Amino acid sequence: MPISPMDIYKLLPKTNCKKCGEMTCMSFAFKLLNKEKKLEDCKPLFEEKKYEKQKEKLIEILKPLEKAKETGLIVNEDLCNGCGNCVVACPVHVERDPHGAMIGKISSDDAILRIENGKVRVLNLEICRRYGKNRILCIVCRENCPTDAISFLEG
Amino acid sequence: MICTGCSCLCDDVEIRDGKILNACYRGYKVYSKLSENRARALVDRREVSVDDAIEKAVEILGQAKNPALYGFDTTTVEAQEVAVKIAEKLNAFIDDNSSFCLGEVVEAILKKDVPSTTLEDVRDQAYVIFYWGANPYSSAPRHMSKFTYYPRGMKRLKGYEDRFLVVVDVRRSETAKLAKKNAIFIKVESDDELVESFNLALEGKAGKYAKEVGTVITELKRSDFNAMFVGLGLKYGVRNLDGFFEMIRKINRVAKLYLIPSAFHSNMRGFNEVLFEKTGSINKFSFKEQRSDKLFAFTELLKRDEIDAVLLLGTDPLSSIPFEISKKIMRIKTVVVDPKMSLTAKIAKVVVPSAFSGFESSGTMVRSDGVRKRLEPIEEKEVNDLWILKKISEGL
Ligand code: SF4
Ligand code: SF4
Ligand code: SF4
Ligand code: SF4
């Protein structure tokens, strides 16, 4: 399930106290999703007891965010059967390894995704098109996964 | 290594640092469970030596009045050839799973009733990729990524973006979900109605699925190379496959469409080809009567109590055939050759433990499209299907 800024906002103190350096809790929620802020930056959430429950919940729903690293790409291994569609369709793979991914095989160590022990594994997210400053919102791998085993945080 | 998890026989599987690379989960499972539940040499459930088990097997088969041989879809062509030889020697029945799998499709291709091609050519050239009653996501997981829709090919430089996907099924399968851009999913209630719609459209008339069929035919005409993959959904969805093949021939008068069966056991096609070469039939054959017949299918033989002994190799009827029928196996003398202690092995008169073809023994297998692949096993076990069958054959 992709997380929306609204989901995060609802659990913040909603006081717009600006202690996090943001003008509003909502903008803090956006930055949190983009990994430009850390949850700990919201001081009241950690200092005031009355937010304890909300804090726990926030930590819980933000967990996948950590897994997703910079690209927002999350793989649910339970849903994956290693069909390899995502691996072969990924435009970066095709560019980098024309003789592998091009023809439906890929075992190169510098791929983004590879099938290991029957499941897709993330190897090098930093070459994914969604990574870094000039990122583009590529969705090719997700689009071609028949079981929605791949998702992105931004939805 | 070549994966023998299904009839794709993927040839790019690697083992590196204790990890299996490239194989799908289906293939990985076979490999990772290799050492579990292995068969032991048994006679009357007592442990014996392999030689003694084989000797007993020879005795049972040699003395039987009406023996049958069944299975062989996961073993090598070389072993299948010996199996057919044994059947001939014994004047026995011989059959495999193809009689309730895609046997008819393989037969139509071997008899050249319909045009077929190789998966390499599909990858290089095919424009329309057509799955009818097939869901490769479960039966042959890498079919689309390795051979058909996704890879780039000589004339399909942009891979799936240069192709058109057609999926026909009674439900929205995983494969159907991939029919997005440049694609069409036709959800049918009856496969026969769709066949009829194609036939009518080709005569310029409109059937129930006129609109969908119109789209497909237009796309087919855009290329001189299109491929259709059929699965069990088609076999059990149409009243008769001959009508379907007739439709394929009719379509071929206006656009080139090759037919390839989608998926089955690793070397089912090998069995069909070996028997076809020898007898002109692909399965359910009686060497006594020198012909093939519906009545000679293994399940029919069981139902009608026609046989008194059977040699089973690489098949587990007790878990794959309805119990009503398969329980009759308990009443006949059963010889099981298998790497695993299958359910059937547990009740068999004789069990001969064997090796997993592909992982533990070499040989040749035939891919779903008829291309022959040399296996590249990780180790070579001496006691394998071929060795066992040769011993039995010599003993008879
Ligand atoms: S510190 Fe917390 S409560 Fe204050 S504005 Fe930022 S998010 Fe809202
Ligand atoms: S998002 Fe695009 S570039 Fe990144 S792994 Fe998926 S297909 Fe490749
Ligand atoms: S497309 Fe989906 S199911 Fe197939 S390998 Fe990729 S994540 Fe797994
Ligand atoms: S598609 Fe079939 S042959 Fe290929 S890796 Fe998967 S199970 Fe093995």
Shortest-distance atom of ligand 3 to CA A82: 5
Out of A63-77, A78-92, B141-155, which region has the weakest mean confidence (pLDDT)?
A63-77
- Distance to chain B for A87, nearest Cα, Å: 8
Verify that B281 and B234 share a domain, yes or no.
no
Verify that B229 and B311 share a domain, yes or no.
no
User: In this complex, is the C-beta atom of A110 within 8 Å of any C-beta atom belonging to chain B?
Assistant: no
Residue numbers in B near A84 (CB within 8 A): 22, 24, 141-142, 145-146, 150
Cβ within 8 Å, pair B22-A105:
yes
Q: Which of A41, A67, A93 is the last residue of a domain?
A: A67
Do B313 and B338 contact (CB within 8 A), yes or no?
A: yes
Verify that A124 and A97 share a domain, yes or no.
yes
Tell me if B8 is assigned to some domain.
Answer: no
- Distance to chain B for A70, nearest Cα, Å: 25
Q: Which of A18, A52, A67 is the last residue of a domain?
A: A67
Measure CB to CB from residue B150 to each of A89, A116, A117 and give the nearest one: A89
Out of A124-138, B110-124, B137-151, which region has the weakest mean confidence (pLDDT)?
A124-138
Verify that B187 and B322 share a domain, yes or no.
no
Question: Distances in Å between the alpha carbon of A9 and those of A25, A54, A67, A114?
Answer: 7, 11, 21, 36
Verify that A33 and A77 share a domain, yes or no.
no
Query: At B321, which CATH number?
Result: 3.40.50.740
Tell me if B370 is assigned to some domain.
Answer: yes
Give the mean pLDDT of B274-294.
96
pLDDT band at A128 (very low <50, low <70, confident <90, very high): confident
Verify that A62 and A127 share a domain, yes or no.
no
The count of structural domains within chain B is 2
Predicted confidence at residue A69, as pLDDT, reads: 55
Q: Which of A14, A44, A67 is the last residue of a domain?
A: A67
Verify that B231 and B137 share a domain, yes or no.
yes
- With a cut of 80, say whether residue A68 has pLDDT above it: no
Q: Which sign does the torsion angle of CA B166, B171, B172, B174 carry?
A: negative
DSSP state of A134: T
Pick A45 or A97 by higher pLDDT.
Answer: A45
Predicted confidence at residue B45, as pLDDT, reads: 94
Give the mean pLDDT of A103-108.
67
Verify that B186 and B215 share a domain, yes or no.
yes
Verify that A137 and A79 share a domain, yes or no.
yes
DSSP state of B229: E
Predicted confidence at residue A106, as pLDDT, reads: 63
Verify that A58 and A10 share a domain, yes or no.
yes
Q: Kind and range of the H or E element at A85?
A: helix A85-89
Query: At A125, which CATH number?
Result: 3.30.70
- With a cut of 60, say whether residue A1 has pLDDT above it: no
Give the mean pLDDT of A22-44.
85
Question: Distances in Å between the alpha carbon of B343 and those of B48, B233, B318, B354, B389?
Answer: 19, 27, 6, 16, 21
User: In this complex, is the C-beta atom of A82 within 8 Å of any C-beta atom belonging to chain B?
Assistant: yes
Give the mean pLDDT of A113-118.
92
Verify that A37 and A80 share a domain, yes or no.
no
- With a cut of 60, say whether residue B98 has pLDDT above it: yes
Verify that A63 and A88 share a domain, yes or no.
no
Cβ within 8 Å, pair B27-A107:
no
Verify that B161 and B250 share a domain, yes or no.
yes
Tell me if B30 is assigned to some domain.
Answer: no
Range of the domain at B380: 38-100+266-395
Cβ within 8 Å, pair A83-B145:
yes
- With a cut of 90, say whether residue A154 has pLDDT above it: no
Cβ within 8 Å, pair A80-B25:
yes
pTM, 2 dp: 0.85
**Helix ranges, chain B (H):** 25-32, 50-63, 77-90, 103-110, 119-125, 136-139, 174-177, 191-202, 210-221, 232-237, 241-254, 268-279, 298-303, 317-320, 323-326, 343-347, 385-395
Q: Which of B233, B261, B289 is the last residue of a domain?
A: B261
Pick B4 or A3 by higher pLDDT.
Answer: B4
What region, left, alpha or beta, does residue A18 occupy, with left being phi > 0 and alpha being psi -120 to 50 degrees? left
Q: Look-up: residue for tokens 């942009």? A: B158
How many angstroms does the Cα of residue A150 sit away from the middle of ligand 3? Answer: 7
The count of structural domains within chain A is 2
Verify that B133 and B254 share a domain, yes or no.
yes
Give the mean pLDDT of B164-176.
96
Q: What is the mean pLDDT of chain A?
A: 84
Q: Look-up: residue for tokens 């091609």? A: B117
Tell me if B6 is assigned to some domain.
Answer: no
Range of the domain at A145: 73-152
Predicted confidence at residue A111, as pLDDT, reads: 86
- With a cut of 70, say whether residue B255 has pLDDT above it: yes
Over residues B209-239, the pLDDT tens digits come to 999 999 999 999 999 999 999 999 999 999 9
